[in-house]
Amino acid sequence: MIGHLLKYVIIINGDDMDGILLIDKPAKMTSHDVVARLRSMLHIKKIGHSGTLDPDARGVLLVLVGKATKILPYLEDTDKEYIAEMELGKRTLSDDVFGEVLETKEILPIHDLSALASSFVGKQKQLPPMISSVRVNGRKLYEYARKNETVDRPLRDIEIYEIEVLDEAKMQFRVFCSSGTYIRSLCRDIAEKSGNLGCMTSLIRTKVGRFSLADCVTLDDVAQGHCPIHTINEALQGYPTIEYSPIDDIYHGKTICIPHSADMLAITHEGVIIAMYKRNHGSWFSCARGLW
């Protein structure tokens, strides 16, 4: 389990909770469903999540509770890790096996899946699936799809850091990638590069930033009172921290002077992050968000 900052809370009153709850989201449940279930169990209104996970996927979902809901903008670009499986022979509207089949084709053998997968490592442009929440002209792509409307999909900048084939027979692989990467689309593209049609058959998100599936609890665990809360400090560990004085300057939202090379700083008081500060000009930083 992660770090000495972790604290265990037996649920009495959710309003006393501030931090990150790591949930192993089950398949056949939306991220919104998970938040709604937790809101009911924890008796708290201030609750949200970072990084939507497809309904048919399972794995790490970061749930933000209380004051931690304020840090969402600072978690959105967090890198992810997944384990996925795919199959060849068909193309679907959603790029996974659960979507409408658009085309089928005889399967061509892939002689070196590892080499094929490894060719996708690096920065690249990716075409998102039609069944996705990517917005075009103010509407989400899945809204166009539901009405059988066509629209040009924007290519997205992504980066694949690592791909490791785990089981060639199952076409199962582990991928470590930038936020915003669609693994469904990656499966489609891997198949296409081999001369095949293909789609994803299963997906498990195993990591979000420094948090892994091993650190997660289930909804049943939470219902039984096992509710480990990770602190805001843990979630924002990737940012440089500065213990600033006089602290009243921070609480009053004043612009402050700090000689530092980073453009975003986490300001602490007695070791606890209380604000995020962004470079204004030179060595001057302005308050981006108070976290008290």
How many other C-beta atoms are found inside a 10 Å radius of the C-beta of residue 70? 19
> Quick one: 181 and 253 in the same domain?
no
- 60 versus 132: the higher-pLDDT residue is 60
Residue 143 maps to a domain? yes
> Quick one: 149 and 224 in the same domain?
no
Average pLDDT over residues 4-11: 39
CATH number, domain with residue 171: 3.30.2350.10
Domain that holds residue 32: 7-76+210-235
- Residue-level pLDDT at 16: 61
* Total domains, the chain: 3
Could you confirm whether 54 is annotated as catalytic? yes
pLDDT band at 6, cuts 50/70/90? very low
> Quick one: 214 and 204 in the same domain?
no
Render pLDDT for 232-261 as a digit per residue (tens, 0 to 9): 999 998 899 999 999 999 999 999 999 999
Residue 206, Ramachandran bin (φ over 0: left; ψ between -120 and 50: alpha; else beta): alpha
Q: Which of 15, 18, 33, 54 is catalytic?
A: 54
> Quick one: 113 and 17 in the same domain?
no
pTM, two decimal places: 0.87
Q: Residues 95, 100, 105, 108: is their CA dihedral positive or negative?
A: positive
What the block records as the tokens of 118 is: 């490894």
